[in-house]
Amino acid sequence: MILAVVAIAAACIAVWLSHGFLYTVAASILFAALYAAVFHTRWCYVAVKTTPRDLRALISYIQILWTARKFAKRNWTLPDIFHDVVQRHPDKPCFMFQDEVWTFKEVEDFSLRMTAVMRAQGIKKGNVVGLLVNNCPQLPALWLGNARLGAVTPLINTNQRGNALLHSINVAACDVLIFSEEYNSAIQDISKELSPSLKLFKFTHRPLQTSSPKQALGSGDTIPDLTCLLEATPPAPWTLADADGFHGKLLYIYTSGTTGLPKAAVISNTRYVFMATGIHFLRLKKSDRIYCPLPLYHTAGGVISVGQALILGCTVVLKAKFSASQYFPDCAKYKATAAHYIGEMCRYILATPPSPTDTQHNVRIIFGNGLRPQIWTEFLKRFNVKHVIEFYGATEGNANIANTDGTPGAIGFLSRIIPAVYPIAIIKVDQETGEPIRNSQGLCQLAEPDEPGVFIGKITPNNPSREYLGYVDKAASQKKVVKDVFAHGDQAFISGDILVADELGYLYFRDRTGDTFRWRGENVSTTEVEAAISRVADHRDAVVYGVLVPNIEGRAGMCGIVDTDGSLDLDQLARALARDLPAYARPVFLRVMGSVDLTGTFKMKKTDLQKEGFDPAQVNNDKLYYLDGKLGRYLPLGTDEYEKIVKGEIRI
């Protein structure tokens, strides 16, 4: 190789001496290409395969940064950005919901009423106004009104009750809480534990009757009706927001709560813009009409979909609640050209009976995260969808990626030819603890192609794509930061998700670090086992987790699987899993259930199931089974069988 370099250098000198500078440049390029082709053949192959993908993503990235830079120079917040959009097309539909059509001007006018009402209540910069409000066009308008005053709005999960709801209100230090009238009983249940200084307002979803406003307090009421106050209060004159500018806080969005109490992640104006434009500049258009059946209290619906309207001027169709059978019929009804999905939605939609409406729509592109590789191609073919933008990112994190070219199953990519442009990586970690594995210099070790590791994103303050704001709870935020990653003194957000990158840099999700478990000396990915079970069991809900068995090392795989009509054939399931999974990955225990709890982002909860394990005394109405290795069948697991397993009389 040294001889080759010397030869190329000598040749370039010779060309320069005989033909001059321009010939030298041309010759240098030619010689460099020949050198790379001879000595770095594989790199050249990767470069040829991935350059179109990387350039497309780079152009999108430049558009994102340019947009963010424009807003940063003006120091605009979301209400200011939205006003600019309203000025360009005030009468264009902004939100569609049921039979309602809200123009951009109507949404802004509603938000200006909210500004006036909250100002009259003494709300100002730095205050916190919580919203426990179900999906409707008014929801984004409410928090835009707060943001114009510089107030931060926690978007509280409407499924929270009791201690979880109380925690969500308290951890955000709410000064005001606005709740939809249907959640009145949930508020009453915790009313004695709420701070006496907390101001409560009830929100009623109905058209405003500004000509004859009702009283905010009826007979016997103690909580003012916000809708009545909005009717009685003229919109505030438009002004630039009295807030902390483009880098200031905008929202608190809570983690989905698959484990423990929800944590409130900080969403700044900067981050809101980055997440919404990050999807838009891949394949969406300002003329798109976007169908969003997701809850608006989470990042997916409340930022990525709603942001297409507030920042880019798209029309967004909102849905009160996701329905698999109505997904594409709704898209046809509202003439949607793009649609949002998340979690297990696509599997539920695919499980619906075939219908002529499957292709009687105008949806050309779907975007979201959680489309399983096993159903990717089948879904697109059945519903005649041309493009998918599968993306990945944590609400609280900065490691955001997207599949820009529709490669089935990929959630994004690492550039193999220009990796420094977007500093993300997969690092080696201890599979049991999740702790980074370091080299002799104390720095993190990068995973090799096809080697699983944890996904990280380098932290760079004041960069919309690289900043890390974390949670309201600073201690919780620091737990997600790893130091001395690429160089001593640097920091990165550590996602906790196990990914693998192939030779071309395409990234594939494997599991959460806490969900992977060891059994029989092997690492078991719960995600892979869940996908296999769902595939052979007619797309049923299936949640896999590891359980401790006394006197046996590691954790045995256990699967909770839904069977609502008694049609689950356990013998067929055992045969199919024996065919599709290695012995160590097959669930040792089964829990047949009537339903499985889901988070608001359609992730299956497994913490309580894991705690109850395979002990019949802990399981009330569900049926338990264990795998008999000799027979290759799942047999009923009662109290006697449980005792024999614990004593080692039944070997698993």
- Mean of the per-residue pLDDT values of the chain: 87
Burial category of 317 from C-beta neighbours within 10 Å (exposed 0-12, middle 13-18, buried 19 and up): buried
pLDDT by residue (tens digit) across 178-222?
999 999 999 999 999 999 999 999 999 999 988 877 777 765 578
Q: What gap in Å lies between CA 262 and CA 157, rounded to an integer? A: 9
Residue with tokens 């599997």: 347
> Helix, strand, coil % (nearest 5) of the chain?
35, 20, 40
Q: Please say if the pLDDT value at position 25 is more than 60.
A: no
What are the CA-CA distances from residue 96 to residues 10, 159, 309 (Å)? Answer: 69, 23, 11
Which CATH number belongs to the domain containing residue 137 in this structure? 3.40.50.980
Q: What gap in Å lies between CA 50 and CA 380, rounded to an integer? A: 23
Q: Do 534 and 570 fall within a single domain?
A: yes
Q: Which of 239, 273, 307 is the last residue of a domain?
A: 273
Q: Do 474 and 521 fall within a single domain?
A: no
- Per-residue burial over 586-606, b = 16 or more CB atoms within 10 Å of its CB, e = otherwise: bbbbbbbbeebbbbbbbbbbb
Q: What is the pLDDT of residue 528?
A: 78
Which CATH number belongs to the domain containing residue 588 in this structure? 3.30.300.30
- The answer to whether residues 154 and 172 touch, using CB atoms and an 8 Å cutoff, is yes
| Residue with the larger pLDDT of the pair 129 and 479 | 129
Q: Please say if the pLDDT value at position 513 is more than 80.
A: no
| Residue with the larger pLDDT of the pair 2 and 372 | 372
Residue 317 lies in a domain: no
pLDDT by residue (tens digit) across 53-72?
999 999 999 999 999 999 99
Over residues 210-235, the mean pLDDT reads: 83
Residue 326 lies in a domain: no
Q: Do 108 and 250 fall within a single domain?
A: yes
- Structural domain of residue 629, as residue ranges? 515-647
Residue 574 lies in a domain: yes
Q: The tokens of 623 are what?
A: 């049926």
Residue 527 lies in a domain: yes
Indicate the range of 32-41, 403-412, 627-636 predicted with least confidence.
32-41
Q: Which of 473, 494, 511 is the last residue of a domain?
A: 511
pLDDT confidence band for 601 (50 / 70 / 90): low
Q: The tokens of 462 are what?
A: 């004041």
Q: What is the pLDDT of residue 169?
A: 96
pLDDT confidence band for 338 (50 / 70 / 90): very high
pLDDT by residue (tens digit) across 615-638?
999 887 899 999 998 889 999 999
Residue 399 lies in a domain: no
Over residues 235-246, the mean pLDDT reads: 96
Over residues 330-352, the mean pLDDT reads: 93
Q: Do 55 and 171 fall within a single domain?
A: no
Q: Please say if the pLDDT value at position 81 is more than 80.
A: yes
Q: Do 27 and 158 fall within a single domain?
A: no
Q: Do 551 and 627 fall within a single domain?
A: yes
pLDDT by residue (tens digit) across 138-161?
999 999 999 999 999 999 999 888
Q: What gap in Å lies between CA 210 and CA 432, rounded to an integer? A: 61
Q: Do 110 and 258 fall within a single domain?
A: yes
Over residues 516-536, the mean pLDDT reads: 78
Q: Do 46 and 125 fall within a single domain?
A: no
Indicate the range of 230-244, 392-406, 602-616, 627-641 predicted with least confidence.
602-616
Helix/strand/coil for 251? strand
Q: What gap in Å lies between CA 224 and CA 121, rounded to an integer? A: 12
Q: What is the pLDDT of residue 311?
A: 98
In the chain, how many domains are there? 4
Q: What angle do CA 511, 512, 513 make, to 5 degrees?
A: 115
Q: Please say if the pLDDT value at position 35 is more than 70.
A: no
Q: Do 142 and 173 fall within a single domain?
A: yes
What are the CA-CA distances from residue 51 to residues 33, 41, 94, 272, 512 (Å)? Answer: 16, 15, 37, 29, 30
What are the CA-CA distances from residue 71 to residues 67, 247, 269, 314, 462 (Å)? Answer: 6, 10, 10, 18, 13
Q: Do 430 and 498 fall within a single domain?
A: yes
Q: Which of 511, 542, 567 is the last residue of a domain?
A: 511
pLDDT confidence band for 440 (50 / 70 / 90): very high
Candidates 452, 445, 453, 454; CA nearest to 484 is 445
Q: Do 128 and 264 fall within a single domain?
A: yes
- What is the per-residue DSSP string for 291-347? EE-S-TTSHIIIIIIHHHHHTT--EEEE-SS--TTTHHHHHHHTT-SEEEEETTHHH
Residue 219 lies in a domain: yes
- Per-residue burial over 5-15, b = 16 or more CB atoms within 10 Å of its CB, e = otherwise: eeebeebbeeb
Residue 146 lies in a domain: yes
Residue 281 lies in a domain: no
Over residues 232-236, the mean pLDDT reads: 95
Helix/strand/coil for 140? helix
Q: What is the pLDDT of residue 509?
A: 87
Amino acid at 4: A
Q: What is the pLDDT of residue 609?
A: 84
Q: What is the pLDDT of residue 219?
A: 53
Q: Do 217 and 82 fall within a single domain?
A: yes
Which helix (H) or strand (E) segment holds residue 155: the answer is strand 153-155
